[in-house]
Structure 1
Amino acid sequence: MGTTFHGPSPWPHITRAIGTRGARYAAIAYLGQDAPDLLPLRAGDLLVVNASKAAIRAHATSPAALAYYVNKGVRVLSSPTLHAKVIVTGRRAVVGSANASENSAFADDAVIITDDPEVIASVRTFIDRIDEVTEVDEVFLDDAAREWEIGRAVPIPGVTGRIRDPEAEFLSVPVTRMFVKHAVDYEPSPTEQHVLDERRSRRPATVGPAVKYALESLRLDRASAVRRGGVVVFVSVDDGWVYPPAVVVSDPMKIPRSGGAVLYFLRIRIDLTPLRLTEAERALTDLGHPGSRLRIDHFVRSPSLRTDLLALWDL
């Protein structure tokens, strides 16, 4: 492999590089809630982060991400002075500027990935010698969750750089990925609920005086074709309702100890109201869609049906 440079979007390269057998050791200062997708660690790995009170209150390190790794069996340590971003496996070392967060995924970060034995040994020694560390356990996580609620998102140099604004528009134009799914009630696990509460704690965005957003979740038993930016229309056949479109605003997040289930976050507009299923079917039939299949889970392939479904709510 040798030594390679990756920027300005290095995370896909980092994720591939550390997908090896054996233990991984990482010292990544700040973790966003989506860190597990970028930095897929497992039981037996070591992760050192900056989960200091200042980092948690600034929303630079997510308690939900910490909880995910702890639940996976990763040993997690917090160092209040950590600012490094390095990872080492038995075969490779990653050295660079990338935090494990969405901010980093959209900032101009860069890393060096190398199989140089001397660099690998040096990175491992650096991680082993990080001092002032505290074990992240259940007590630590409870305290971190409280600090997160007290704090607010504030700029930290090198952390909250230029990122895309997912709230700028409710729908992408055009909508190319839409799903009809049955509405099913379920009780979120404590980890799911914490992540959901964390997201909801952010100040809701507005577009105009009457449009407000809320955050909901979607749990699927396995990974699917649902992707960030897609639209989900929920239907309750038993109750006879079609619910307003929801926009997928996260990548799939694996749920610990769930047998492969994944969690998505959805943004909804609370000013939109459900429609009677029979009325929606009748309206779509009048628009030339007698086989709208609203009573069956499916991917909506027809562009015109997607357009007319959205038009039921004047979207």
Structure 2
Amino acid sequence: MGTTFHGPSPWPHITRAISTRGARHAAIAYLGQDAPDLLPLRAGDVLVVNASKAAIRAHATSPAALAYYVNKGVRVLSSPTLHAKVIATSRRAVVGSANASENSAFADDAVIITDDPEVIASVRTFIDRIDEITEVDEVFIDNATREWEIGRAVPIPGVSGRIRDPEAEFLPAPVTRMFVKHAVDYEPSPTEQHVLDEHRPRQRTTAGPAAKYQLESLRLDRTSGVRRGDVVVFVSIDDGWIYPPAVVVSDPMKIPRSGGSVLYFLRIRTDLPPLPLTDAEKALTDLGHPGSRLRTDHFVRSPSLRTDLLALWDL
């Protein structure tokens, strides 16, 4: 067989790869309620999961899946620090990012499947050395069921409670606060640049897929009504462009020794182009907004104007 790579939907390959004789040892952090269909284990197998209170309350690990495996004779253990997703059989090892859940079945996960004896042995050793282990038995499952019932599906570090549409997440739903502001080119002062460097997340390398979203900064001379979650549409009158909407993703950050100026971070989509300002004004006029005031800084109070502004970019 050798070594093969499988993604972005690796579970059919994983399920086939582990359908072998002999005991299987798996360390899969999170189990959805459909885990038994993806990860068919049997009596004599070992399964280490993260069934901590946080994982159960977040609905990342299902007590029903735990009960299924225990009733099948699988030895199930819980480690609250587990985040790995690895499996070892007598003939193969699986190493990757896939949890045993519906989310993972539809997400862009990937695994390596190999028959390299050294990798198989290393995976077994890794699983055997996981610490902070708790045996999952009926009492454990009863407690986990109570935690599940008082919890709810929420994100926890490293895992999403639900598959979400990133397109829908770019803008708040609904958009109730929007500003039109004029774009002004300026060179950050050393103090301002220091604030930016302190707060801006570290940039990834340019290798890999092109980023669809990026952060920009907005400098205002004083704290204004702008707040996190607001949508800002920038207009450059001198250049004759209106720029696609940006979303405020930070609280105001004071710039020392600036007379009260503040910085905000904005999230933008790199795939949305600027539009000619005159074309935008004509389109809005045709839609019933002859007074769109795109050449004046203002808070957009009209819900219909907000909707039609976003529609300029099919948002």
Q: Taking structure 1 as the reference length, what is the TM-score of the superposition?
A: 0.51
> Equivalents in 2 of 1:158, 1:16: separation in Å?
26
Q: 1:161 to 1:147 in 2, by over 3 A?
A: closer
Please name the residue that 1:20 is paired with: 20
Please state how far the C-alpha of 1:158 moved relative to its aligned partner: 3.5
Q: Is contact 2:28-2:86 (8 Å) kept?
A: yes
Please state how far the C-alpha of 1:160 moved relative to its aligned partner: 1.7
Write the mapping of 1:107-122 to structure 2, written as runs, cut at 5 A. 107-122=107-122
Q: 1:89 to 1:148 in 2, by over 3 A?
A: same
Deviations 1:102-138 (CA, angstroms, capped at 9, x unpaired): 0000100000000000000000000000011000000
Please state how far the C-alpha of 1:159 moved relative to its aligned partner: 2.3
RMSD, aligned CA: 1.3
Deviations 1:31-62 (CA, angstroms, capped at 9, x unpaired): 00000000000000000000000000000000
Please name the residue that 2:81 is paired with: 81
Amino acid aligned to 1:56: I
| Gaps in structure 1 of 5+ consecutive residues | 166-315
Write the mapping of 1:209-288 to structure 2, written as runs, cut at 5 A. none
Amino acid aligned to 2:87: I
Deviations 1:207-262 (CA, angstroms, capped at 9, x unpaired): xxxxxxxxxxxxxxxxxxxxxxxxxxxxxxxxxxxxxxxxxxxxxxxxxxxxxxxx
1:123 is paired with a residue of what secondary structure?
helix
Q: Which runs of 4+ in 1 moved over 6 A?
A: none
> Equivalents in 2 of 1:112, 1:4: separation in Å?
6
Please name the residue that 1:146 is paired with: 146
Please name the residue that 2:7 is paired with: 7
Please name the residue that 2:301 is paired with: none
- When Rg is computed on C-alpha atoms for both structures, the one with the higher figure is 2
Amino acid aligned to 2:68: Y
Write the mapping of 1:175-190 to structure 2, written as runs, cut at 5 A. none
Q: Is contact 2:154-2:161 (8 Å) kept?
A: no
Amino acid aligned to 1:68: Y
Q: 1:161 to 1:56 in 2, by over 3 A?
A: closer
Amino acid aligned to 2:116: D
Please state how far the C-alpha of 1:162 moved relative to its aligned partner: 6.6
1:87 is paired with a residue of what secondary structure?
strand
Deviations 1:46-82 (CA, angstroms, capped at 9, x unpaired): 0000000000000000000000000000000000000
- Percent of aligned pairs sharing the same letter: 94
> Equivalents in 2 of 1:72, 1:15: separation in Å?
17
Number of aligned positions between the proteins: 165
Please name the residue that 1:98 is paired with: 98
Q: Is contact 2:78-2:134 (8 Å) kept?
A: yes
Q: Is contact 1:106-1:162 (8 Å) kept?
A: no
Please name the residue that 1:298 is paired with: none
Amino acid aligned to 1:159: V
> Equivalents in 2 of 1:106, 1:129: separation in Å?
31
Amino acid aligned to 2:136: V
Deviations 1:165-212 (CA, angstroms, capped at 9, x unpaired): 9xxxxxxxxxxxxxxxxxxxxxxxxxxxxxxxxxxxxxxxxxxxxxxx
Q: Taking structure 2 as the reference length, what is the TM-score of the superposition?
A: 0.51
Amino acid aligned to 1:38: L
| Gaps in structure 2 of 5+ consecutive residues | 166-315
Q: Is contact 1:86-1:93 (8 Å) kept?
A: yes
Are 1:39 and 2:39 an aligned pair? yes
Please state how far the C-alpha of 1:18 moved relative to its aligned partner: 0.1
> Equivalents in 1 of 2:151, 2:91: separation in Å?
39
2:95 is paired with a residue of what secondary structure?
strand
> Equivalents in 1 of 2:17, 2:146: separation in Å?
35
Q: Is contact 1:41-1:74 (8 Å) kept?
A: yes
